[in-house]
Amino acid sequence: MTGPAPWHRWQGDCVMMGHHGDSCSGNKGGDMEGDVTEETLHWSWGGMSIEVGVTRRGQGPEVLILPALSSISTRHEMDALQTRLAERFTTVSVDWPGFGDRPRPFLEATPAMLTAFIDYLLDEVIFLPEMIVAAGHGAGMVIRHLEQHPDAADRLVLIAPTWRGPLPTMAGEHKPWFGHLRTWFDRPVIGAGIYRLNVSNWFLRRMAGEHVYETPNWLSGERLAAKRRVARTPGARHGSIRFVTGAVDPFSRREACVAALKGASARTLLITSEKMPPRSRAEMRAMGALPRVDTVSLSHGRLSVHEEFPDEVARAILAWLDIPPQYD
């Protein structure tokens, strides 16, 4: 960075200026739950302009909402939760570059790139938010950002936070062949074919049923069709395989993740449940043991608890906000 970039309040159609942000445009519409503004950010990274989808809802203090990083995740998994929080806040839900519902050019997604994107959001899009709400690997990435910027947020909500991708979790570590797998998936013809097999309806339902959703057949019908569209967005395989193989893992060890969270000044709420996958639940318990972290364990939900049970998650967040902190 060469210095602070000019920043303009972002509302409706807008232009943002700076070393990473080029512009954004949007359409405002209404629904029964209030006005919703859909935006497109154009973020520059490595000489490439990347489209990123954004949804704004509500009025009041600003809250940044970041979804999980996965093959089927977009900001829209936060829609129901965002609608409930929008009763008290201006909520800004943003996709991750290399993920989301927009066509994705090939780029080497890395933790450094994704934390640079958080820098950009907090510098130029939503300056000094009242709260950051992040899910899954998105929450892990925010914790990594706090390692370098411990005062970036006053309040932080981590929903089912993770820091290690599926294959490293299964293997217990990063293996050399993960890189070879990424190379195969990146190939134009062979990689695209292999990827399509891994985002079939059968595979998506199996993955969702084991780790992501609690309710049997919750992912079916239009929900399944929507997830399949996300997984088959042009260029989706590049970010997907990097998530699965751990190339976008924000940390390599539990101790580093816990230390980064411990060093943050934000009042923090961690939302988990007893029905999370056991290995993920163990990592969340380690984070929840920190003195400045309040933990709520819900009776329902797995890794996408915010999507499947948004009412319970919203109630937990709002109740936590209304209780004075029990520490200095």
Residue-wise pLDDT tens digits, 19-57:
344 555 555 544 434 589 999 999 999 899 999 999 999
Per-residue pLDDT, 30: 42
Q: What is the phi/psi pair of residue 267, to 5°? A: -70, 130
**Residue count of the chain:** 328
Identify the architecture of domain 21-321 in CATH.
3-Layer(aba) Sandwich (3.40)
| Local confidence band at 5 (pLDDT 50, 70, 90 cut-offs) | very low
Which residues have C-beta within 8 Å of that of residue 81, sequence separation ≥ 6?
Answer: 65, 133, 306, 307, 310, 313, 314
The per-residue pLDDT for range 50-100, each reduced to its tens digit, is 999 999 999 999 999 999 999 899 999 999 999 999 999 999 999 999 999
Q: pTM of the predicted model, to two decimals?
A: 0.89
Number of Cβ within a 10 Å radius of residue 151: 9
Which residues have C-beta within 8 Å of that of residue 31, sequence separation ≥ 6?
Answer: none
Q: Which of 301, 311, 259 shows the shortest CA–CA distance to 80? A: 311
The domain segmentation of the chain, as residue ranges, is 21-321
The per-residue pLDDT for range 286-310, each reduced to its tens digit, is 999 999 999 999 999 999 999 999 9
Per-residue pLDDT, 12: 33
**Average pLDDT rounded to a whole number, residues 187-203:** 85
- The percent of residues above 90 in pLDDT, for the chain, comes to 73
16 Cα distance to chain centroid: 22
What ranges in the chain are assigned the alpha helix state H? Answer: 79-85, 111-120, 136-148, 166-171, 177-186, 190-198, 201-207, 221-231, 236-244, 254-263, 278-288, 305-308, 310-321
